[in-house]
Amino acid sequence: MKDALRGKRRARQTGRKSATTKVLYLEHDDDNLYMLKRRLERCSDFEVLAAEDSERGCKLAVTERPDVIFLDLEMPVTDRWEPLRTLKKDPQTRNIPIIGMSAHAEASEREKAMATGCDEFDAKPIEFENLLATVRQVIAKPK
């Protein structure tokens, strides 16, 4: 699935229908959610589902089967690693790539996220082009 996003863009330019990448974004901050959702949807290659709390996000992951999950690692109420553990433990969601996101950009945060089950990690504020490259990378990996 290399260059999946580029292939979708090419298909759109030639008039052929192409599937979109379904993203589930678990984010409690309305501004972050709005900004990233709008930018992704402008690419026309993405369908973005959103959840403002971990419980709803985990349920959406099961029912909607997204291609990739963006997980804010600073979600309120629950232990910050609990949604990640829940998603990776469930047979219905364990193979969905998860990109952890945090404003804590130090190496230890990335290491902890990866050790806990994230497939990748991105520091906030998000650099959009880097995030797109990360999405391409994680969805191209064999499951």
Domains and CATH numbers, the chain: 4-140 (3.40.50.2300)
99 with 120: CB under 8 angstroms? yes
Q: What does the pLDDT read at residue 86?
A: 95
22 with 64: CB under 8 angstroms? yes
The two most distant CA atoms of the chain are separated, in Å, by 47
Provide the whole-model pTM. 0.84
Q: What does the pLDDT read at residue 15?
A: 44
Q: What does the pLDDT read at residue 106?
A: 85
Tell me how far apart the alpha carbons of residues 28 and 32 are, in angstroms, rounded to a whole number. 8
Q: What does the pLDDT read at residue 104?
A: 84
Which tokens hold the place of 111? 């290491």
Q: What does the pLDDT read at residue 80?
A: 81
> For the chain, what is the radius of gyration of the CA atoms?
15
Tokens 């959610």 correspond to what residue?
33
Q: What does the pLDDT read at residue 78?
A: 74
Tell me how far apart the alpha carbons of residues 83 and 86 are, in angstroms, rounded to a whole number. 5
Q: What does the pLDDT profile of the chain (143 residues) look like in tens digits?
A: 334 444 444 344 434 345 789 999 999 999 999 999 999 999 878 999 999 999 999 999 999 999 999 999 988 767 789 999 999 999 999 999 999 999 887 889 999 999 999 999 999 999 999 999 999 999 998 87
Q: Where are the alpha helices (DSSP H) in 21-127?
A: 30-42, 54-64, 82-89, 107-116
